[in-house]
Amino acid sequence: MSDPETEGLRSTFPSYMAEGERLYLCGEFSKAAHSFSNALHLQDGDKNCLVARSKCYLKMGELEKSLKDAEASLREDPTFCKGILQKAETLYTMGDFEFALVFYHRGYKLRPDREFKVGIQKAQEAINNSVGSPSSIKLENKGDLSFLSKQAENLKAQQKPHPLKYLSHHTKRECKRRGSLKSEKIVRQLLGELYVDKEYLEKLLLDEETGNLTDAKSRALDNIGRVFARVGKFQQAIDTWEEKIPLAKTTLEKTWLFHEIGRCYLELDQAWEAQNYGEKSQQYAEEEGDIEWQLNASVLVAQAQVKLRNFEAAVNNFEKALDRAKLVHNNEAQQAIIS
Protein backbone atom coordinates (compact mmCIF):
# COMPACT_ATOMS: atom_id res chain seq x y z
CA MET A 1 0.00 0.00 0.00
CA SER A 2 1.47 3.37 -1.01
CA ASP A 3 2.26 6.17 1.42
CA PRO A 4 -0.19 9.05 0.80
CA GLU A 5 2.53 11.58 1.58
CA THR A 6 4.87 10.26 -1.11
CA GLU A 7 2.11 9.55 -3.61
CA GLY A 8 2.52 11.83 -6.58
CA LEU A 9 6.22 12.48 -5.97
CA ARG A 10 7.92 11.65 -9.25
CA SER A 11 11.55 12.16 -8.35
CA THR A 12 14.17 10.95 -5.86
CA PHE A 13 15.50 12.45 -2.66
CA PRO A 14 18.85 13.54 -4.23
CA SER A 15 17.00 15.11 -7.16
CA TYR A 16 14.70 17.15 -4.92
CA MET A 17 17.70 18.24 -2.82
CA ALA A 18 19.62 19.34 -5.92
CA GLU A 19 16.57 21.15 -7.26
CA GLY A 20 16.05 22.93 -3.93
CA GLU A 21 19.67 24.04 -3.75
CA ARG A 22 19.52 25.39 -7.32
CA LEU A 23 16.30 27.31 -6.63
CA TYR A 24 17.76 28.70 -3.40
CA LEU A 25 20.82 30.04 -5.22
CA CYS A 26 18.48 31.65 -7.77
CA GLY A 27 16.58 33.40 -5.00
CA GLU A 28 13.42 31.29 -5.47
CA PHE A 29 13.11 30.59 -1.76
CA SER A 30 9.46 29.53 -1.70
CA LYS A 31 9.97 27.04 -4.53
CA ALA A 32 13.17 25.81 -2.92
CA ALA A 33 11.35 25.21 0.37
CA HIS A 34 8.74 23.21 -1.53
CA SER A 35 11.44 21.04 -3.10
CA PHE A 36 13.04 20.42 0.28
CA SER A 37 9.60 19.53 1.69
CA ASN A 38 9.22 16.94 -1.09
CA ALA A 39 12.63 15.56 -0.20
CA LEU A 40 11.60 15.31 3.45
CA HIS A 41 8.52 13.33 2.46
CA LEU A 42 10.94 10.77 1.03
CA GLN A 43 13.47 10.89 3.88
CA ASP A 44 11.70 12.16 6.95
CA GLY A 45 13.94 13.94 9.45
CA ASP A 46 17.02 14.26 7.22
CA LYS A 47 19.03 16.86 9.15
CA ASN A 48 20.77 18.44 6.15
CA CYS A 49 17.45 18.85 4.38
CA LEU A 50 15.87 20.39 7.48
CA VAL A 51 18.67 22.95 7.67
CA ALA A 52 18.29 23.71 3.97
CA ARG A 53 14.55 24.30 4.35
CA SER A 54 15.16 26.36 7.49
CA LYS A 55 17.40 28.66 5.45
CA CYS A 56 14.60 29.13 2.94
CA TYR A 57 12.09 30.00 5.65
CA LEU A 58 14.60 32.45 7.13
CA LYS A 59 14.93 34.22 3.78
CA MET A 60 11.14 34.27 3.47
CA GLY A 61 10.75 35.84 6.90
CA GLU A 62 8.92 32.82 8.32
CA LEU A 63 11.04 32.78 11.44
CA GLU A 64 9.05 30.35 13.58
CA LYS A 65 9.16 27.74 10.81
CA SER A 66 12.87 28.38 10.36
CA LEU A 67 13.50 27.85 14.07
CA LYS A 68 11.34 24.73 14.15
CA ASP A 69 13.32 23.11 11.32
CA ALA A 70 16.66 24.12 12.85
CA GLU A 71 15.67 22.57 16.18
CA ALA A 72 14.38 19.43 14.44
CA SER A 73 17.79 19.00 12.76
CA LEU A 74 19.36 18.78 16.24
CA ARG A 75 16.88 16.30 17.68
CA GLU A 76 18.92 13.20 16.96
CA ASP A 77 22.34 14.83 17.05
CA PRO A 78 22.66 17.92 19.30
CA THR A 79 26.27 18.36 18.09
CA PHE A 80 25.27 18.78 14.42
CA CYS A 81 27.16 21.99 13.64
CA LYS A 82 25.10 23.04 10.62
CA GLY A 83 21.97 22.81 12.75
CA ILE A 84 23.54 24.73 15.63
CA LEU A 85 24.64 27.50 13.27
CA GLN A 86 21.22 27.70 11.62
CA LYS A 87 19.47 27.85 14.99
CA ALA A 88 21.84 30.62 16.09
CA GLU A 89 21.27 32.56 12.87
CA THR A 90 17.50 32.26 13.21
CA LEU A 91 17.54 33.33 16.85
CA TYR A 92 19.72 36.29 15.92
CA THR A 93 17.30 37.33 13.17
CA MET A 94 14.41 37.01 15.64
CA GLY A 95 16.25 39.37 17.96
CA ASP A 96 16.97 36.77 20.66
CA PHE A 97 20.60 37.87 20.80
CA GLU A 98 21.48 36.23 24.14
CA PHE A 99 20.18 32.83 23.04
CA ALA A 100 21.87 33.25 19.67
CA LEU A 101 25.16 33.97 21.44
CA VAL A 102 24.84 30.78 23.48
CA PHE A 103 24.50 28.67 20.32
CA TYR A 104 27.27 30.51 18.46
CA HIS A 105 29.54 29.72 21.41
CA ARG A 106 28.36 26.12 21.51
CA GLY A 107 29.09 25.67 17.81
CA TYR A 108 32.47 27.38 18.08
CA LYS A 109 33.53 24.99 20.84
CA LEU A 110 32.59 22.05 18.61
CA ARG A 111 34.06 23.47 15.43
CA PRO A 112 35.96 26.80 15.58
CA ASP A 113 34.92 27.98 12.12
CA ARG A 114 34.72 31.55 10.91
CA GLU A 115 30.89 31.52 10.79
CA PHE A 116 30.65 30.89 14.51
CA LYS A 117 33.32 33.46 15.33
CA VAL A 118 31.53 36.12 13.27
CA GLY A 119 28.25 35.10 14.91
CA ILE A 120 29.71 35.53 18.40
CA GLN A 121 30.98 39.00 17.49
CA LYS A 122 27.75 40.24 15.93
CA ALA A 123 25.54 38.81 18.70
CA GLN A 124 27.72 40.35 21.41
CA GLU A 125 27.66 43.68 19.59
CA ALA A 126 23.87 43.52 19.27
CA ILE A 127 23.52 42.79 23.00
CA ASN A 128 25.77 45.72 23.86
CA ASN A 129 23.93 48.12 21.57
CA SER A 130 20.33 47.31 22.35
CA VAL A 131 17.93 46.54 25.14
CA GLY A 132 16.69 42.98 25.08
CA SER A 133 15.48 40.98 22.16
CA PRO A 134 12.87 42.54 19.88
CA SER A 135 9.87 40.37 19.16
CA SER A 136 9.83 38.31 16.02
CA ILE A 137 6.64 40.23 15.34
CA LYS A 138 7.91 43.53 13.99
CA LEU A 139 6.27 46.23 16.04
CA GLU A 140 5.22 49.17 13.94
CA ASN A 141 5.81 52.66 15.21
CA LYS A 142 2.08 53.35 15.29
CA GLY A 143 1.42 54.35 18.84
CA ASP A 144 2.17 57.38 20.89
CA LEU A 145 5.89 57.52 21.72
CA SER A 146 5.19 59.56 24.79
CA PHE A 147 6.40 56.97 27.31
CA LEU A 148 10.02 57.25 26.27
CA SER A 149 10.04 60.92 25.27
CA LYS A 150 8.38 61.97 28.55
CA GLN A 151 10.94 60.06 30.59
CA ALA A 152 13.98 60.80 28.45
CA GLU A 153 15.44 63.16 31.05
CA ASN A 154 14.99 60.61 33.84
CA LEU A 155 16.19 57.36 32.27
CA LYS A 156 19.55 55.98 33.34
CA ALA A 157 22.00 54.77 30.73
CA GLN A 158 22.99 51.31 31.83
CA GLN A 159 24.82 48.45 30.21
CA LYS A 160 23.29 44.99 30.27
CA PRO A 161 24.02 43.57 33.75
CA HIS A 162 26.48 40.70 33.79
CA PRO A 163 26.47 38.20 36.66
CA LEU A 164 30.23 38.40 37.19
CA LYS A 165 29.93 42.07 38.13
CA TYR A 166 28.36 40.96 41.40
CA LEU A 167 31.60 39.38 42.55
CA SER A 168 33.01 42.55 44.09
CA HIS A 169 32.47 43.01 47.82
CA HIS A 170 30.22 45.97 47.17
CA THR A 171 27.66 45.28 44.43
CA LYS A 172 27.77 47.91 41.72
CA ARG A 173 24.21 49.00 41.12
CA GLU A 174 23.44 49.33 37.45
CA CYS A 175 21.01 52.14 38.19
CA LYS A 176 23.83 54.28 39.65
CA ARG A 177 26.41 53.78 36.93
CA ARG A 178 25.61 56.62 34.54
CA GLY A 179 24.16 60.08 34.55
CA SER A 180 20.74 61.02 33.29
CA LEU A 181 20.09 60.90 29.56
CA LYS A 182 19.76 64.33 28.03
CA SER A 183 18.44 63.74 24.56
CA GLU A 184 15.86 61.71 22.71
CA LYS A 185 18.61 60.60 20.34
CA ILE A 186 20.39 58.76 23.17
CA VAL A 187 17.14 57.09 24.21
CA ARG A 188 16.68 55.85 20.65
CA GLN A 189 20.24 54.51 20.64
CA LEU A 190 19.72 52.82 24.01
CA LEU A 191 16.44 51.12 23.18
CA GLY A 192 16.98 50.43 19.50
CA GLU A 193 13.95 48.72 17.97
CA LEU A 194 12.10 49.00 21.27
CA TYR A 195 11.63 52.72 20.67
CA VAL A 196 7.92 52.12 20.11
CA ASP A 197 6.28 53.22 23.36
CA LYS A 198 6.31 50.54 26.03
CA GLU A 199 2.57 51.02 26.30
CA TYR A 200 2.18 49.58 22.78
CA LEU A 201 3.72 46.32 23.97
CA GLU A 202 1.36 46.32 26.93
CA LYS A 203 -1.62 46.85 24.63
CA LEU A 204 -0.49 43.80 22.66
CA LEU A 205 -0.95 41.68 25.78
CA LEU A 206 -4.55 42.88 26.15
CA ASP A 207 -5.57 42.55 22.50
CA GLU A 208 -8.16 39.78 22.43
CA GLU A 209 -8.92 40.14 18.73
CA THR A 210 -5.50 39.06 17.52
CA GLY A 211 -6.15 35.38 18.16
CA ASN A 212 -3.64 33.05 19.77
CA LEU A 213 -1.05 35.38 21.29
CA THR A 214 0.92 32.91 23.38
CA ASP A 215 4.25 33.42 21.60
CA ALA A 216 3.67 37.13 21.03
CA LYS A 217 2.71 37.61 24.67
CA SER A 218 5.81 35.74 25.83
CA ARG A 219 8.09 37.91 23.73
CA ALA A 220 6.31 41.10 24.72
CA LEU A 221 6.68 40.22 28.42
CA ASP A 222 10.34 39.50 27.75
CA ASN A 223 10.85 42.93 26.17
CA ILE A 224 8.91 44.86 28.81
CA GLY A 225 10.85 43.12 31.59
CA ARG A 226 14.13 44.04 29.98
CA VAL A 227 13.11 47.69 29.67
CA PHE A 228 12.14 47.81 33.34
CA ALA A 229 15.41 46.15 34.39
CA ARG A 230 17.44 48.50 32.21
CA VAL A 231 15.96 51.60 33.83
CA GLY A 232 16.35 50.22 37.34
CA LYS A 233 12.71 49.29 37.99
CA PHE A 234 13.61 45.87 39.28
CA GLN A 235 10.33 45.00 41.04
CA GLN A 236 8.36 45.78 37.89
CA ALA A 237 10.82 43.67 35.88
CA ILE A 238 10.27 40.81 38.34
CA ASP A 239 6.49 41.10 38.13
CA THR A 240 6.65 41.08 34.33
CA TRP A 241 9.05 38.14 34.04
CA GLU A 242 7.17 36.08 36.64
CA GLU A 243 4.09 36.42 34.42
CA LYS A 244 6.21 34.97 31.59
CA ILE A 245 7.25 31.84 33.55
CA PRO A 246 4.28 29.65 32.49
CA LEU A 247 4.94 30.63 28.86
CA ALA A 248 8.61 29.59 28.84
CA LYS A 249 8.96 26.59 26.53
CA THR A 250 12.57 25.44 26.61
CA THR A 251 14.95 24.53 29.38
CA LEU A 252 17.39 27.18 28.18
CA GLU A 253 14.70 29.88 28.25
CA LYS A 254 13.80 28.92 31.83
CA THR A 255 17.48 28.98 32.79
CA TRP A 256 17.84 32.54 31.55
CA LEU A 257 14.48 33.70 32.94
CA PHE A 258 15.05 32.45 36.49
CA HIS A 259 18.56 33.90 36.45
CA GLU A 260 17.31 37.36 35.44
CA ILE A 261 14.55 37.32 38.08
CA GLY A 262 17.08 36.25 40.71
CA ARG A 263 19.45 39.00 39.69
CA CYS A 264 16.68 41.60 40.07
CA TYR A 265 15.93 40.30 43.56
CA LEU A 266 19.62 40.62 44.37
CA GLU A 267 19.49 44.26 43.27
CA LEU A 268 16.59 44.75 45.68
CA ASP A 269 18.60 43.13 48.53
CA GLN A 270 16.09 40.30 48.76
CA ALA A 271 18.69 37.59 49.11
CA TRP A 272 16.37 34.66 49.91
CA GLU A 273 14.42 35.17 46.72
CA ALA A 274 17.63 35.69 44.75
CA GLN A 275 19.02 32.41 46.07
CA ASN A 276 15.76 30.59 45.31
CA TYR A 277 15.62 31.71 41.69
CA GLY A 278 19.36 31.23 41.27
CA GLU A 279 19.03 27.61 42.36
CA LYS A 280 16.20 27.11 39.88
CA SER A 281 18.43 28.54 37.17
CA GLN A 282 21.21 26.18 38.27
CA GLN A 283 18.85 23.21 38.02
CA TYR A 284 17.75 24.00 34.47
CA ALA A 285 21.31 24.84 33.41
CA GLU A 286 22.36 21.38 34.62
CA GLU A 287 19.48 19.78 32.70
CA GLU A 288 20.44 21.73 29.57
CA GLY A 289 24.11 20.83 30.00
CA ASP A 290 25.07 24.45 29.38
CA ILE A 291 28.30 25.14 31.27
CA GLU A 292 28.26 28.91 30.79
CA TRP A 293 24.80 29.22 32.33
CA GLN A 294 25.89 26.88 35.14
CA LEU A 295 28.69 29.37 35.75
CA ASN A 296 26.32 32.36 35.78
CA ALA A 297 23.77 30.67 38.02
CA SER A 298 26.44 29.51 40.50
CA VAL A 299 27.75 33.08 40.78
CA LEU A 300 24.25 34.41 41.46
CA VAL A 301 23.56 31.79 44.15
CA ALA A 302 26.94 32.38 45.78
CA GLN A 303 26.44 36.16 45.88
CA ALA A 304 23.00 35.71 47.46
CA GLN A 305 24.48 33.34 50.05
CA VAL A 306 27.14 35.91 50.95
CA LYS A 307 24.35 38.39 51.71
CA LEU A 308 22.65 35.68 53.80
CA ARG A 309 25.97 35.13 55.64
CA ASN A 310 25.93 31.48 54.60
CA PHE A 311 29.62 31.61 53.81
CA GLU A 312 30.32 27.88 53.59
CA ALA A 313 27.63 27.39 50.94
CA ALA A 314 28.81 30.54 49.14
CA VAL A 315 32.37 29.20 48.96
CA ASN A 316 31.08 25.91 47.53
CA ASN A 317 29.17 27.74 44.81
CA PHE A 318 32.08 30.04 44.01
CA GLU A 319 34.27 26.94 43.65
CA LYS A 320 31.65 25.38 41.38
CA ALA A 321 31.60 28.58 39.32
CA LEU A 322 35.40 28.58 39.13
CA ASP A 323 35.38 25.00 37.83
CA ARG A 324 32.87 25.96 35.14
CA ALA A 325 34.91 29.03 34.19
CA LYS A 326 37.97 26.82 33.70
CA LEU A 327 35.99 24.41 31.54
CA VAL A 328 34.96 27.19 29.13
CA HIS A 329 38.39 28.89 29.34
CA ASN A 330 36.83 32.11 30.66
CA ASN A 331 39.89 33.79 32.14
CA GLU A 332 38.00 36.98 32.99
CA ALA A 333 35.52 35.01 35.06
CA GLN A 334 38.29 33.08 36.80
CA GLN A 335 40.05 36.29 37.80
CA ALA A 336 36.81 37.85 39.03
CA ILE A 337 35.99 34.82 41.17
CA ILE A 338 39.38 34.52 42.87
CA SER A 339 40.00 38.26 43.31
Maximum distance among all Cα pairs of the chain, rounded to whole angstroms? 73
What pLDDT does 206 receive? 60
Please tell me whether residue 74 adopts helix, strand or coil conformation: coil
What are the boundaries of each domain within the chain?
Answer: 13-129, 146-338
Please name the fold of domain 146-338.
Answer: 1.25.40
What pLDDT does 162 receive? 47
- Same topology for domains 13-129 and 146-338, yes or no? yes
User: What ranges in the chain are assigned the alpha helix state H?
Assistant: 13-25, 29-42, 47-60, 63-73, 81-94, 97-110, 114-129, 146-150, 184-191, 198-206, 214-230, 234-244, 251-267, 271-288, 291-307, 311-327, 331-338
Residue 254 has pLDDT above 80, yes or no: yes
d(Cα 167, Cα 305) in Å, to the nearest integer?
12
Question: pLDDT grade, residue 86 (50/70/90)?
Answer: very high
d(Cα 318, Cα 208) in Å, to the nearest integer?
47
Give the tens place of pLDDT for each residue, 69-78: 999 999 989 8
Please tell me whether residue 156 adopts helix, strand or coil conformation: strand
Give the tens place of pLDDT for each residue, 279-330: 999 999 998 888 889 999 999 999 998 888 888 888 888 888 888 888 878 7
What pLDDT does 213 receive? 63
What pLDDT does 279 receive? 95
Residue 196 has pLDDT above 70, yes or no: no
* Full-model pTM: 0.46
**CATH code, 13-129:** 1.25.40.10
Q: What average pLDDT does the segment 152-158 reach?
A: 35
d(Cα 103, Cα 41) in Å, to the nearest integer?
28
d(Cα 55, Cα 256) in Å, to the nearest integer?
26
Element (H, E) at 197: none
User: How deeply is 308 buried, as exposed, middle or buried, from its count of CB atoms within 10 A (0-12, 13-18, 19+)?
Assistant: middle
